[in-house]
Structure 1
Amino acid sequence: MTQPFRLPTAGRLDAAGTVSFIFDGKPHTGLAGDTLASALLANGVHLVGRSFKYHRPRGILSAGAEEPNALVGIHRDPARKTPNVRATVQELYDGLAAVSQNRWPSLAFDVGALNDLGAPFFSAGFYYKTFMWPRAAWERLYEPVIRRAAGLGTAPDQPDPDRYSNRFAHCDVLVVGGGAAGLAAALAASEAGARVILADEQAEPGGSLRFEAGAVIDGMPGWEWAQRTAAQLAARDNVRLLTRTTGFGYYAQNMLGLVERLTDHLAAPHPEAPRERLWQVRAKRVVLATGAIERHMVFPDNDRPGIMLASAARTYLNHFGVAVGRRVAVYTADDSAYAAAIDLKKKGVEIAALVDLRPAPQGAHVEEARGLGIEVLAGHAVTGTEGRLRVRRIDVAPVNGGAPRQIEVDALVTSSGWTPAVHLFSQSRGKLAFNEATQRFLPGQYVQDAVSVGAGNGTTGLGEAVAEALQAGEKAAKEAGVSKARAKVPNLEAGSTERWSSGMAGAAPGAEAGKKAMAFVDFQNDVTAKDIRQAVQEGMRSIEHVKRFTTTGMATDQGKTSNLHALTIASEMLGKPIPEVGLTTFRPPYTPVTFGALVGHGRGALFEPTRRTPIHTWAEAHGAVFEDVGQWKRAWYFPSGGEDMHAAVARECRTVRQSAGIFDASTLGKIEVVGPDAARFMELMYTNPWQKLAVGRCRYGIMLREDGFIYDDGVVGRLAEDRFHVTTTTGGAPRVLHHMEDYLQTEFPDLKVWLTSTSEQWATIAVQGPKSRDIVAPLVEDIDLSDEAMPHMSVREGRVCGVPARLFRISFTGERGFEINVPADYGLSVWEAVWAEGGKHGACAYGTETMHVLRAEKGFIIVGQDTDGTVTPDDAGLGWAIGRKKKDFVGIRGLKRPDLTAPGRRQLVGLKTSDPKTVLEEGAQIVADPNQPVPMKMIGFVTSSYWSENCGRSIALALVENGSHRMGERLHVPMPDGAVEVEVVPTVFFDEKGERTNG
């Protein structure tokens, strides 16, 4: 299989690296390093798809991410079908299978092309005007049909089997764009000593140097300089070079989102390798070297396959070695298109004519073109094209009148100038400024710590762009706090190519010639110049309204090649300067991003990370049954000798009360609150008073939301005047830390306090029961465990088993208890030592179910189980935990709301069933009269319910309306087998006086 349009004397690819691929079922060959677009063009394939609305034949327009036409489906296997892939970005690999989209039954013969005949009826605003009546028909008739017709490709019908990954990174300088300017900025910043990340969307850095064959930098061809510089940067310890990586979003505080394509270019990627990686980068300084995007010319029938941008033709020629045609015409309003004509001519491609809309173009490039025998038609316009599936002829006429002529061609390349790619700058909330001289929007007022360089900043000369970037890179490093040395400035020799200019946006003269011909502004959404004019005529004055009325700029390419055209046409119609008309808003992502890249790294077993305590392996080896608590695996119960759950829990409960139990409490959230204002901060965050809490003592603390409802609880120990050890519920640790940080940074920024999560630092071993001190004492050094020296609610620092430890005397069971906190690395060995001592006293290991039963026997609440987000401390019987003399804390104003102090609120109470053996269902509703008509009035619900082996009966906690005033009252709980009568009792079922806590 030959590649008829591959030129042996052009390009940088190795002719020996032949690969095979399939497009629409037909086999082709390409070269390693090709994109799908370049390989198709090498085989003479220009027709690649159909347009969205009119199903017009469409070809390859560009050579990069701005491509609006060449969207294809890539099929690796039945489960890996990716629609709407830009052929200009998709790298070729052996065996690649691609299909065209939005056509039936075939690309060459598409029934949907009938829409093109009805184009006069489908003009701007068609949907808004047509489908408004009759109103009832929308959901039944219009919407289903429109939804079936929407989109271009076919969505996958199977779950995505690919893997994705996510990385966070910090750097001094992030450079987005790996062209000449981006490489120079990264070089300067890295030589100054900064930690640099350079991201570029191409497989190889170089940017426009891919097509600027005459560029010379530092005494060598520009492309060679780019590859050498990239290799130097990649070899440096302080530089991370990310190729195939697109900066798609610029967010607050210099955080940017990048997507790295890892395996889409490989024929047989490793099955475990991630397909894409999401980078979330926080940079001290950002350098935007995003380049510029060439615009097409707007003229009748400018969308035929074979019509493309001049820079694309140069890229396919100079980098890929592909001629876009044998007889090519050039149509331009800009200097840069001359380079395309000259490059093609020098490689043996016939240039049928160079049509320049400008009346008198001047410069060396014009003379060079004429010197090569290229006919330059100044002051002429292309007024139409012909060719069904590929352009075969263009109509040319003088702008000021004169005889038209027809020119036979098989390709037409166009350029109306360049638009700086200011998308990321705009996303950073920077303000754009309109440059009257060049008629372009350029970066103006910066909001974040960023700078734009090169073509993205409106700098057109290569020499000026590199010099500007070097200065910006060095300055960025200095502003980031690092500056080691001055970067070496590359020398730019006279051979550098600098032919960029702003050109002319808008529709060319003759754009509306003929009733049937359409001059397209936005190719992907089939928006014409006539549509833009019609929108203005029908009252659209804001460019945002014009955008939505016509859908220009709303496709997946976000109008990269069309926005300025639409804006210019609208401004002409309105008779206003372009800045007064405004510019549409650029929003992330810059180019489409897969859902897999954004969230796919958390799938299957990774959907929620599994966290295990240091003691997990011991529990597993001793037969523990585990339950999921938040992200943690926690031992639920320890069956022995064929016990079921109920028998195991009953045994564990008895053992704890009679002897002792050992419990892994490592999952408790732990937060270190440190600083001169730590006590003041605690006073504000908790309802309790903390200023006078003595060092070495503990207190149970209640944390509220602003509305006055319980948010979390836990025991807090004061380790020093300026240090508190805060514990939280297992599931509440992240949100409590976030809650504290939020208030510290926004409401109390004057306080000198530092918050550190230490949940994983400490392994926590709870020893509870009458024999707990006997078990712990032999292992403890330097701490007096007597009741006088270490009473209940105390904390001491010392050593346990020779390991630095924090020892708390606290209890969640109502028994004498100790909680040993040791560094996590020593958690298992200390647990085994405690277990060995416990065996001497008949202790058992117990799990979370036993913990729940024991705490319920004492009426201790669990936030999130016995509270539902609408419970106040008074509702939960914890009013004593509110400092009555405190003037301020989070939630104090919420507690004063009338609704939170009104009678009849649901309050926490205990329930005893008439039949002691009946265990209520958690969540079951409570009614006063089971015989009342349906719907019954529910006055509360059961929050916790267990069989208590120590009480010899079932016990339950419940939230009941006006519960504290219902003591002794008989209520009913509807259950599947009938209503169960219950008595309202206090919440404490065991050791009502609390004597066992002190032994």
Structure 2
Amino acid sequence: MSPRRTDTGGRIDRLKTIRFTFDGAAYTGHAGDTLASALLAKGVTLYGRSFKYHRPRGLLTAGVEEPNALVTVLKGEVREPNIPATMVEIHDGLVAISQNRFPSLAWDINAVNQLGGKILSAGFYYKTFMGPVIGPLKGTRFWMFCEHFIRRAAGLGSAGSAKDPARYERMNAFCDVLVVGSGPAGLMAAKAAADQGARVMLADLEPRFGGSANWSGETIDGAPAADWARRTVAQLEARDNVRLLPRTTVWGYYDNNTLAALERVSDHKEQPGKGEPRHRYWAIRARSVVLATGAFERPLVFPGNDRPGVMLAHAAERYANEFGVLPGERIALFTNNDSAYRTAVALKKAGASVVAIVDVRPEPSAEMRKLAAEAEAEIFAGHAVIATEGGKALSGLKLQRFDMANGSLTGDARSIHADCLLMSGGWSPTIHLASQAGAKAEWNAARQAFLPPKPTQQWPTQHWIGAGAFTGSFSTTEAIAEGRAAGLAAAGGTSTPAALPTVEAVPGDPDPAPVFEIRAKGKSFVDFQHDVTAEDVRLAHREGFVSVEHLKRYTTLGMATDQGKSSNVPGLAIMAEALGKPIPEVGTTRFRPPFAPVSIGSLAAERFGDLKPERLTPMHDWHLANGATMYSAGLWYRPMIYGHAGETVEQAYVREAKATRDSAGIVDVSTLGKIAVQGPDAAAFLDRVYTNMFSTLAVGKARYGLMLREDGLAFDDGTTWRLGEQDFLMTTTTANAGKVMQHLEYFLDVIWPELKVHVTSVTDEWAGAAIGGPKARQILAACVTGTSVDNATLPFMGIVRGEISGVPVMICRLSFSGEMAFEVYSGAGHGTHVWEALIEAGKPFGLITYGLEALGTMRIEKGHVTGAEIDGRTTARDLHLDWMLSKKKPFIGSAMMDREGLIASDRLELVGLIALDNRPLNGGAHIVEQLDEANPHGSIGHITACCYSPALGKHIALALVKGGKARHGTRANVSDPLRNRFGPVEIVSNHFFDPDGSRMHG
């Protein structure tokens, strides 16, 4: 028998022995044990090390809220860190290791951090590493010296890099009523809703339904509560309108009653069943939701409250009643409410020795004194624990008389020998999901807790109803009544239900005395996971972080996996005391999803590997068949090069660009965004959208246009073609097609709903080919029928309609390459046919196909801008497009584009660069006036795009440089320390090639 395992009791299978290892040591447990309960049964007290101080830590809780005992589970080379040992169900072959320690859990070298004192107080990383270093590294920032060590120390467990072989699933579910939590309130809600014929889903994060009924020691309908829970679950299992989801954490509450849940399908098994996933992600859409998520017991804040052997009373009761494990041999309790007395009785019945109950209240009730006598425990009323003793395990505690009226300690301290101290500081309803749904918590002075608001204050689209401890109703009788009422209301039921079960409850008022900190010598922890002390909270107040949201971020209180489950209210109470305000005025933070950590594998589910959405142009198969090397450009797959055998990428694009400029080239431009803008007010709408005029554009002509955002910064550019008086075809950059469509729809729907305009995305309806070069017109003339393509018929920015190989086409003469060029559009279904006809017609003229690399090279040579320059920070003036800013009309962004900061003389402006050492340049490299390879500094801009220019025979780039235009003809340097590229460059105009446009207009 294990040192702390009781002879009887619990819901474990004592006939089935499970073998597992923890930190390399072999242990055994029983079926039904968690890793925490199995180790506790063996007398293990040390489970982990704290985040900052690396203090030894033991179990604090028995559930998902556990902040200390986080472990890494190993399956072969796959490791999953930061799992609470309280949530790991043991199975044969389980391998778990502790975290955040070196070289071992017992002897952690980083425990020296405990000597850091105030140096490691709240916000130390914001302040300590900002000063300069003295000594050999003088001249550098202390942070740059410490960063490597700080980043190695950050976090708790270490993520693995091995490929995860496990399978994950994703499920969508729809129901009338989703019940979250399966304690007495949740079970009654599910049963009441199911009895009304509603489709019900019941989810609970534990492996067994029943919640507190499994271990509370109460009786329902004359039988142990656990038996009542089993009968109720069996009734639900027999219903075909009920789905039960054990081991399922509902972790997120989103709009329109959509909830996210994670089902742990096979973590508790040595090997998953055939076809069984490890985790299953549920997206549940419910008509109504019943939140019966219970409450978390809070710790008390006093010096030494984090020592291994100090545990929550509720957790100890659960270990004894559910797992048959005693938390210690000599147990003391420290409380400010009655619920701890129930724990004392339960532990005594399980065989524990309860030596003392320390109660901060001066006069416990007669009923509580009776329970203490039943537990054979001495009561120390009006006392508080002021310290704990021991090393890596508790050996004793000190207590002193406490005056609750003013929070002062009086008299001499006395010692009590105990190897386990249980604390109970009241209860916090688990309102995380309600908070995510938009509910604002309300402070309840009696409960000393934040409760969810009344249903009338809920968002209309988030229809949830609370029940049980979630609402502050801690008695089982109230929970059952509320659960049934909630289930009926959620199902819209009208039939008369049967009588409620009768409950014989264990007495114990959960309302605590409003005491949150015992101020004595030593560290008193508020957030155990992040080593946040009561003094850290007061320090944050002294340094001006008085908002609860700022407090959270400055001290890290309630962050990471904790999410305020145990630390929130004690921390807020200490801040309220420092501010001299009541807790309701201080408020509480909002809780964000996920409620508990979620495996990334479950979020991806079957969608792993290269499974992103793929958009293929109509000519995609032709490109593959003809040697194109494809790559993704956003969601689209486009040809990069059409390489010859043995060619590098650079050799291929140089050949393609040179051949296009010498003769002709053709490129697939089907990916350009295309939006039909139609209606009586279409021209007026475009005048408002673009910086230049479109209402004056003649039918059959196109115009280059620029859009600004409302803040005056450049948004997108492209050409728009006027196909009829009320019919325009707008083209956008490939990357911004969706954003521009949203932009147009927003202004039509919200800002100018009176305009009679309809916009339709037609990107996928058209196949596009751009053919350019000195011989481009001759090639078109050889294959187009129904129209001439000479200069008179098809001038620059002109549009004609005709046919190619019997297919109707629309042709616009415009150029992105700087050559005479034409864009040919046909219906998407005819794209490959027209493409092949153009290539066939071009063979006598030396036409070649080219990809995005050559296209980018020619656009850089010509100085055209793309998303690399229109990056959300540049203006029309920065890009030398101010000639497009109309002075005759307002447009989106015109009111903001002349702000002082947007017209400053030192703004980054578009320039060209030529590498004077004729070596390749790199995108993102900085431009500096004075080169300092040892200490790069003094950036005046950066490279946005670069290439080798076959037209110039040089390495060139486009860049954004301070006061760029004024620097034409001057020299600077490229500084790229990450890629060790330094060298001189000449700053020139961004128009490297054919600046007067004679080739394009010829």
The question of a shared fold, defined as TM-score above 0.5 by the shorter chain, is answered with yes
Q: In the alignment, is residue 732 of structure 1 matched against residue 736 of structure 2?
A: yes
Give the 5 Å matches for 1:425-824: 425=434, 430-444=439-453, 448=459, 450=462, 451=464, 453-454=466-467, 455-462=469-476, 464-465=478-479, 468=482, 492-495=500-503, 501-505=509-513, 507=515, 523-524=528-529, 557=562, 560-565=565-570, 577-579=582-584, 582-583=586-587, 585-586=589-590, 588=592, 593=597, 612-626=616-630, 629-630=633-634, 632-639=636-643, 662-671=666-675, 680-690=684-694, 699-706=703-710, 710-717=714-721, 725-737=729-741, 739-740=743-744, 748=752, 759=763, 763-766=767-770, 769-770=776-777, 807=810, 809-812=812-815, 817=822, 819-823=824-828
Q: How much does 1:142 deviate?
A: 14
CA change 1:296–1:692 in 2 (3 A) is: same
Deviations along 1:486-505, one digit per CA (max 9) or x if unpaired, are 79978641137586743324
CA change 1:349–1:810 in 2 (3 A) is: farther
Task: Quote the Cα distance in structure 2 between the aligned partners of 1:27 and 1:953.
Answer: 70
CA change 1:677–1:597 in 2 (3 A) is: farther
Task: Quote the Cα distance in structure 1 between the aligned partners of 2:999 and 2:714.
Answer: 26
Q: In the alignment, is residue 156 of structure 1 matched against residue 169 of structure 2?
A: no
**What SS does structure 1 have at the residue aligned with 2:47?**
strand
Task: Quote the Cα distance in structure 1 between the aligned partners of 2:984 and 2:124.
Answer: 58
Give the 5 Å matches for 1:376-391: 377=379, 379=381, 390-391=393-394
Q: How much does 1:713 deviate?
A: 2.0
Q: How much does 1:28 deviate?
A: 0.5
Task: Quote the Cα distance in structure 2 between the aligned partners of 1:610 and 1:174.
Answer: 37
Deviations along 1:827-855, one digit per CA (max 9) or x if unpaired, are 66775677678779986544335545777
Q: Is the 8 A contact 2:305 2:525 kept in 1?
A: yes
Q: How much does 1:312 deviate?
A: 1.5
Give the 5 Å matches for 1:67-82: 67-76=66-75, 80=79, 82=81
The answer for the alignment partner of 2:86 in structure 1 is 88
Task: Quote the Cα distance in structure 2 between the aligned partners of 1:541 and 1:979.
Answer: 50
Deviations along 1:253-310, one digit per CA (max 9) or x if unpaired, are 9998877778765656899999889999999987655431112456676555444223
CA change 1:560–1:937 in 2 (3 A) is: closer
Q: Is the 8 A contact 1:462 1:498 kept in 2?
A: no
The answer for the alignment partner of 1:848 in structure 2 is 852
Report the AA paired with residue 69 of structure 1.
N
The answer for the alignment partner of 1:480 in structure 2 is none
Q: Is the 8 A contact 1:234 1:240 kept in 2?
A: no
**What SS does structure 2 have at the residue aligned with 1:712?**
strand
CA change 1:574–1:694 in 2 (3 A) is: closer
Q: Is the 8 A contact 1:663 1:846 kept in 2?
A: yes
The answer for the alignment partner of 2:45 in structure 1 is 46
CA change 1:300–1:647 in 2 (3 A) is: closer
The answer for the alignment partner of 1:781 in structure 2 is none
Report the AA paired with residue 684 of structure 1.
R
CA RMSD in angstroms, aligned pairs only? 6.9
Task: Quote the Cα distance in structure 1 between the aligned partners of 2:851 and 2:699.
Answer: 32
Q: In the alignment, is residue 889 of structure 1 matched against residue 892 of structure 2?
A: yes
Q: How much does 1:619 deviate?
A: 1.5
Task: Quote the Cα distance in structure 1 between the aligned partners of 2:657 and 2:509.
Answer: 83
Task: Quote the Cα distance in structure 2 between the aligned partners of 1:413 and 1:48.
Answer: 17
The answer for the alignment partner of 1:324 in structure 2 is 327
Q: How much does 1:887 deviate?
A: 3.3
Task: Quote the Cα distance in structure 2 between the aligned partners of 1:922 and 1:393.
Answer: 65
Q: How much does 1:643 deviate?
A: 7.4
Report the AA paired with residue 618 of structure 1.
W
Q: Is the 8 A contact 1:453 1:459 kept in 2?
A: no
Q: Is the 8 A contact 1:334 1:504 kept in 2?
A: yes
Q: Is the 8 A contact 1:73 1:153 kept in 2?
A: no
CA change 1:199–1:143 in 2 (3 A) is: farther
The answer for the alignment partner of 2:428 in structure 1 is 419
Task: Quote the Cα distance in structure 1 between the aligned partners of 2:328 and 2:839.
Answer: 82
Task: Quote the Cα distance in structure 1 between the aligned partners of 2:144 and 2:950.
Answer: 63
Task: Quote the Cα distance in structure 2 between the aligned partners of 1:870 and 1:152.
Answer: 33
Deviations along 1:127-153, one digit per CA (max 9) or x if unpaired, are 89x989999789779996997799697
Q: In the alignment, is residue 10 of structure 1 matched against residue 9 of structure 2?
A: yes
Q: Is the 8 A contact 1:925 1:973 kept in 2?
A: no
Q: In the alignment, is residue 224 of structure 1 matched against residue 230 of structure 2?
A: yes
CA change 1:749–1:198 in 2 (3 A) is: farther
Q: How much does 1:422 deviate?
A: 3.7
The answer for the alignment partner of 2:61 in structure 1 is 62
Q: Is the 8 A contact 1:423 1:590 kept in 2?
A: no
Task: Quote the Cα distance in structure 1 between the aligned partners of 2:541 and 2:898.
Answer: 59
Q: Is the 8 A contact 1:636 1:849 kept in 2?
A: yes
TM-score using structure 2 length: 0.70
Moved more, 601-610 or 311-320: 601-610
Q: Is the 8 A contact 2:628 2:642 kept in 1?
A: yes
Task: Quote the Cα distance in structure 2 between the aligned partners of 1:533 and 1:936.
Answer: 40
Task: Quote the Cα distance in structure 1 between the aligned partners of 2:895 and 2:577.
Answer: 60
The answer for the alignment partner of 1:293 in structure 2 is 296
Report the AA paired with residue 79 of structure 2.
R
Task: Quote the Cα distance in structure 2 between the aligned partners of 1:751 and 1:368.
Answer: 77
**What SS does structure 1 have at the residue aligned with 2:441?**
strand
Aligned residues: 951
Q: Is the 8 A contact 1:694 1:718 kept in 2?
A: yes
CA change 1:361–1:777 in 2 (3 A) is: farther
Q: How much does 1:585 deviate?
A: 3.1
Q: Is the 8 A contact 1:674 1:724 kept in 2?
A: yes
Q: How much does 1:37 deviate?
A: 0.8
CA change 1:847–1:407 in 2 (3 A) is: closer
Report the AA paired with residue 669 of structure 1.
G
Q: Structure 1: give runs of 5+ residues left out of the alignment.
A: 478-482, 779-783, 928-934, 995-999
**What SS does structure 2 have at the residue aligned with 1:47?**
coil
The percentage of aligned residue pairs carrying the same residue is: 36
Specify which of 959, 984, 995 is matched with residue 987 of structure 1: 995
Q: Structure 2: give runs of 5+ residues left out of the alignment.
A: 136-140, 404-409, 929-936, 975-982
Moved more, 634-643 or 538-547: 538-547
Deviations along 1:795-842, one digit per CA (max 9) or x if unpaired, are 899999999x98554543665745335457x86677567767877998
**What SS does structure 1 have at the residue aligned with 2:61?**
coil
Deviations along 1:747-803, one digit per CA (max 9) or x if unpaired, are 55776777665655655445674466678769xxxxx66779997768899999999
Give the 5 Å matches for 1:827-976: 844-849=848-853, 851=855, 861-864=864-867, 885-891=888-894, 894=897
CA change 1:265–1:838 in 2 (3 A) is: farther
Q: How much does 1:315 deviate?
A: 2.8
Q: Is the 8 A contact 2:30 2:38 kept in 1?
A: yes
Q: In the alignment, is residue 312 of structure 1 matched against residue 312 of structure 2?
A: no
Q: Is the 8 A contact 1:547 1:553 kept in 2?
A: yes
CA change 1:109–1:621 in 2 (3 A) is: closer
Moved more, 628-637 or 536-545: 536-545
Report the AA paired with residue 297 of structure 2.
E
Task: Quote the Cα distance in structure 2 between the aligned partners of 1:149 and 1:905.
Answer: 34
Q: How much does 1:672 deviate?
A: 5.4
**What SS does structure 1 have at the residue aligned with 2:10?**
coil
TM-score using structure 1 length: 0.71
Report the AA paired with residue 42 of structure 2.
N
